[in-house]
Structure 1
Amino acid sequence: MSYVKKQELKKQFKVEMFKGIQIIDNESYDLIDSRKFFPNLQDAVKYTESIKSRLENDWVIRFFKKTEEIWELVEIIGRDKE
């Protein structure tokens, strides 16, 4: 059985909400508004669903899953322009 740090168990899923891009020295960076971590998929999905309905047109949600030491992008959720 392998040992896993308790703090790592709490950060298996990540949900980020961001708006736009900032350019610094020819590098682009996301303007992160919020970033939350969750221990399981159900909690992460529940949070994502709760904020989706409140998004304005130019906000985007990114949903990540941690695979070993790498955050893997699972889904990008954006509000369609009306």
Structure 2
Amino acid sequence: MSAPGDEDDRPLYERFGFRIARRGYDRDQVEAYLTQLLGGAPAAGAPAFDLVRRGYERDRVDEVITRLHHEAPGRGAQA
């Protein structure tokens, strides 16, 4: 596990444990959204991804996005 602030050079699918599903979220759309979110850009509402053949498993993507939103600065648990 990397320390806060360290760059993680692994591909996003590997970093977050995304699996390919028979029908799942469009991989390019998911990766573009996560890149923007991880880059510090505020999310503009709930994401909506197209369902495609051989996309990312929906439950895992939803779980990761929810966690990242809660961990974003100014949200989640206050110290």
| TM-score normalised to structure 2 length | 0.29
Question: Which protein is richer in strand relative to its size?
Answer: 1
Q: Which has the higher contact order (CA 8 A, sep 6+)?
A: 2
Question: Which protein is richer in helix relative to its size?
Answer: 2
| TM-score normalised to structure 1 length | 0.29
Structure exhibiting the larger radius of gyration computed from Cα positions: 1
